[in-house]
């Protein structure tokens, strides 16, 4: 009896559960019947829904195009400006399109990572469609007696490898005569390579971030098209025009990056050999924001002096010119990945400092932290006054540099400005003013204070070189070294005939060269050095070891024929006049032997040239 009762009770429980399931299924049917079993649209209203889906598809195609053009964004992230130190802002202007960098460094040296996720791109298209649906109109149906009312749209987008699917939840109420209908769910899809292009763009980015192959190519271009380090056999200095070098580098960078592809023989230099199926194009334009700098160079002229022709070095029997220049280059490239008729693109910065590639995400020596001192931290109120040599106010633009951050303070008014400076020990107040030398003064802004900066007026002076006994074929190098600072300026005459000078004492050096032909036969030099002798080396015992150095035959085509030096003080009264800077130097006969060349070098080192303003 007991067991029978339990069985009957269990049967009742099962019936109750089945009843609940049936009720739930029935409720679900009525709740989701339009989704699970969408009712057919009558022929009367089908053209309206078709027209709407065509518009939805067109808007989706436009959204996809915007995403692909703007690196996965329809609405770019907030704009972050660049600076003279880092020329990259948060986005690259590509023929009017705002293309966010996937990685960049802001003007105050803060890394920005802006790689969008696929979910973010789906959200971008959804938001875009919800804002664009209003422009889908039904004007062509109005004249046929239709009344169409749209509700509030809610879009959901799914990006697949080869298509983009759109689900739109929006009431579309349509009426014609006595017949009405309500369409709530709309679905369409667009054939697109967006998904696969995005995945391959991410793969490209990750490989570049790890291997830095774009930067390695950039260093190759630098060493191929610019003097970096090495030496040449010559008894005359080597001279380069920095602006010309930078121009050639810009052109070479543009052309060589454009020549790269992701196909061909794996041994080909321009084959990227990336494990992606998309066609790849890398673009760089010369007019995009960039900076090119080289050291040592205090002027647009790079000079490497010869060794071996000075007095006391005649034993060498030859001359050579060693050089070593250090470059900083910062410029953007635009990466494009293409399949069929679709192109996905995003920019990246190329940063080369001291001839070395800077790893993405690393902080360079110009900054010790990611803190933006200009916006964060304590501030001090500082007054900056600008005056000339007569204590008259000067207008200029003031900035403050500290730990890699460059804070723009602003423009002076009546020679003064009071601004908020980040608290900093031994920062640099930098002032620029038209017609004056740029001035940099050390200043600690740990408390409120003031600083007066004396500006030096700059005067452009035309140079007239009088070369006594000239043969009209010579080129002259003229260097101006200001004694109270590291300011230096070198020019090549007669190509350059103007120099900017301010009041002060300058050391002026002149070297004049002419075409010549000196041949030095091949020779062998015996060179001996003292080296430690076995165990005895511990006690300082050495012995002489000698080796022969073979020097190849040399031909010198440029020889020193004149030069000298002069220390001159230029006063404001002299510089302010409308006069010429006249330099006079005597020319020697062209040397016909290494000994004569060394004599001329010795004479030039002690010779005093004539310098005057008249």
Look up residue 589 and give its two tokens.
Answer: 């006969």
> Pairing relation of β-strands 379-387 and 449-454?
parallel
What is the pLDDT, as a whole number, of residue 342? 96
Q: Mean pLDDT, to the nearest integer, of 37-66?
A: 87
What is the pLDDT, as a whole number, of residue 313? 42
Can you list the positions of beta strands (E) in 192-304?
Answer: 229-232, 238-241, 279-283, 291-295, 301-304
What is the pLDDT, as a whole number, of residue 545? 67
What is the pLDDT, as a whole number, of residue 145? 87
Average pLDDT, the chain: 84
Domain assignments of the chain as residue spans, ordered by start: 1-37, 46-194, 209-357, 379-454, 459-613
DSSP state string for 21-77? HHHHHHHHHHHHHHHHSPPPPPTTTHHHHHHHHHHHHHHHHHHHHHHHHTTT-SSPP
> Which strands make up the sheet holding 554-570, listed edge to edge?
488-493, 475-482, 504-520, 554-570
Q: Mean pLDDT, to the nearest integer, of 141-156?
A: 91
Q: What percent of the chain has pLDDT over 90?
A: 52
* 99 strand-pairing partners: 92
Collect all residues with Cβ–Cβ distance below 8 Å to 453 and sequence separation of at least 6: 384, 385, 386, 387, 429, 431, 439, 441
Q: Is the pLDDT of residue 89 over 70?
A: yes
SS3 470: coil
| Bond preceding residue 494 cis, omega within 30 of 0 | yes
Measured CA to CA, the distance from residue 515 to residue 559 in angstroms comes to: 6
Measured CA to CA, the distance from residue 91 to residue 208 in angstroms comes to: 19
The pLDDT tens digits of the residues spanning 118-127 come to: 999 999 999 9
First to last CA, the chain: 135
What is the pLDDT, as a whole number, of residue 246? 94
The pLDDT tens digits of the residues spanning 331-343 come to: 999 999 999 999 9
Look up residue 354 and give its two tokens.
Answer: 């001291």
Q: Which residue has the tokens 């020596």?
A: 365
**Any idea which of 187-191, 422-426, 579-583 has the lowest mean pLDDT?**
422-426
Look up residue 104 and give its two tokens.
Answer: 């960049």
Measured CA to CA, the distance from residue 28 to residue 125 in angstroms comes to: 31
Q: Is the pLDDT of residue 30 over 90?
A: no
The pLDDT tens digits of the residues spanning 469-504 come to: 888 778 898 989 888 777 788 888 988 899 999 888
* CA-to-CA dists, residue 3 to 113, 150, 194, 217, 529, angstroms: 71, 64, 67, 86, 113
Measured CA to CA, the distance from residue 30 to residue 45 in angstroms comes to: 23
Collect all residues with Cβ–Cβ distance below 8 Å to 507 and sequence separation of at least 6: 480, 481, 483, 565, 566, 567
What is the pLDDT, as a whole number, of residue 443? 92
Measured CA to CA, the distance from residue 349 to residue 286 in angstroms comes to: 14
What is the pLDDT, as a whole number, of residue 360? 65
* 407 strand-pairing partners: 400
What is the pLDDT, as a whole number, of residue 1? 40
The pLDDT tens digits of the residues spanning 354-405 come to: 999 987 643 333 333 345 678 777 889 999 999 998 899 999 999 998 876 7
The pLDDT tens digits of the residues spanning 256-280 come to: 999 999 988 878 899 999 999 999 9
pLDDT-derived band at 94, boundaries 50, 70, 90: very high
Measured CA to CA, the distance from residue 422 to residue 405 in angstroms comes to: 10
The pLDDT tens digits of the residues spanning 172-213 come to: 999 998 899 999 999 999 999 999 999 999 999 999 999 999
Fold classified for 379-454: Immunoglobulin-like (2.60.40)
Q: Mean pLDDT, to the nearest integer, of 451-463?
A: 93
Assess contact for 401 and 428: CB atoms under 8 A. Answer: yes
3-state secondary structure 257-277: HHCCECCCCCCCCCECCCCCC
What is the pLDDT, as a whole number, of residue 437? 87
What is the pLDDT, as a whole number, of residue 99? 96
Q: Which residue has the tokens 């006069």?
A: 579
Helix and strand counts by DSSP (H, E) for the chain: 9, 34
Q: Is the pLDDT of residue 51 over 50?
A: yes
């Amino acid at each position: 009896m007991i067991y029978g009762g339990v069985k009957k009770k269990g049967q009742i429980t099962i019936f109750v559960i089945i009843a609940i399931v049936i009720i739930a299924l029935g409720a679900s049917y009525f709740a989701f019947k339009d989704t699970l079993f969408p009712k057919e649209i009558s022929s009367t209203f089908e053209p309206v829904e078709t027209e709407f889906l065509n518009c939805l598809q067109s808007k989706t195609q436009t959204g996809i195009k915007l995403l692909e053009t703007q690196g996965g964004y329809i609405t770019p992230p907030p704009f972050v400006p660049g600076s003279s130190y880092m020329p990259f802002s948060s986005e690259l202007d590509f023929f009017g399109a705002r293309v966010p960098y996937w990685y960049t460094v802001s003007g105050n040296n803060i890394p920005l990572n802006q790689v969008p996720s696929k979910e973010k791109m789906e959200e971008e298209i959804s938001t875009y469609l919800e804002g664009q649906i209003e422009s889908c109109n039904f004007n062509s149906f109005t004249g046929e007696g239709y009344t169409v009312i749209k509700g509030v749209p809610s879009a959901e987008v799914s990006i697949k490898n080869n298509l983009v699917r759109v689900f739109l939840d929006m009431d579309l109420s349509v009426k014609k005569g006595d017949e009405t209908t309500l369409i709530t769910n709309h679905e369409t899809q667009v054939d697109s390579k967006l998904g696969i292009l995005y995945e391959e763009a991410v793969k490209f980015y990750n490989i570049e971030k790890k291997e830095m192959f774009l930067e390695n190519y950039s260093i190759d271009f630098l060493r191929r098209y610019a003097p970096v380090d090495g030496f040449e056999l010559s008894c005359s200095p080597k001279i380069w025009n920095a602006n010309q070098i930078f121009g050639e580098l810009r052109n070479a960078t543009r052309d060589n990056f454009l020549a790269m592809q992701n196909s061909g023989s794996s041994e080909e230099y321009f084959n990227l050999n990336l494990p992606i199926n998309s066609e790849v194009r890398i673009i760089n334009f010369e007019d995009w924001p960039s900076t090119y700098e080289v050291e040592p160079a205090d002027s647009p002229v790079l000079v490497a002096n010869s060794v071996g022709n000075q007095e006391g070095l005649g034993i060498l029997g030859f001359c050579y010119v060693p050089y070593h220049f250090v470059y900083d280059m910062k410029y953007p490239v635009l990466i494009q990945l293409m399949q069929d008729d679709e192109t996905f693109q995003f920019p990246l910065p190329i940063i080369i400092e001291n001839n070395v590639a800077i790893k993405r995400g690393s902080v360079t020596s110009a900054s010790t932290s990611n803190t933006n001192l200009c916006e964060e931290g304590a501030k001090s109120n500082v007054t900056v006054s600008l005056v000339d040599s007569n204590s008259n106010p000067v207008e200029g633009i003031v900035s403050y540099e500290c730990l890699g951050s460059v804070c723009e303070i602003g423009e002076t008014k009546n020679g003064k400005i009071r601004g908020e400076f980040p608290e900093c020990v031994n920062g640099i107040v930098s002032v620029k003013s038209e017609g004056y030398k740029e001035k940099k003064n050390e200043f600690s802004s740990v408390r409120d204070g003031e600083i007066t900066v004396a500006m030096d007026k700059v005067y452009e002076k035309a140079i007239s070189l009088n070369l006594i006994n000239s043969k009209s074929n010579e080129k002259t190098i003229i260097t101006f070294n200001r004694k109270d600072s590291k300011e230096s300026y070198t020019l090549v005459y007669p190509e350059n005939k103007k120099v900017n000078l301010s009041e002060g004492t300058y050391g002026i050096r002149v070297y004049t060269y002419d075409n010549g032909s000196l041949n030095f036969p091949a020779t062998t030099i015996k060179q001996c050095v003292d080296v430690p002798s076995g165990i005895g080396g511990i006690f300082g015992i050495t012995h002489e070891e000698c080796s022969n150095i073979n020097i190849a035959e040399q031909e010198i085509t440029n020889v020193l024929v004149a030069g000298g030096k002069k220390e001159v003080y230029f006063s404001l009264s002299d510089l302010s006049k409308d006069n010429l800077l006249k330099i006079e130097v005597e020319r020697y006969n062209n040397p016909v032997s290494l000994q004569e060349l060394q004599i001329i070098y010795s004479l030039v080192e002690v010779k005093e040239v004539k310098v005057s303003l008249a």
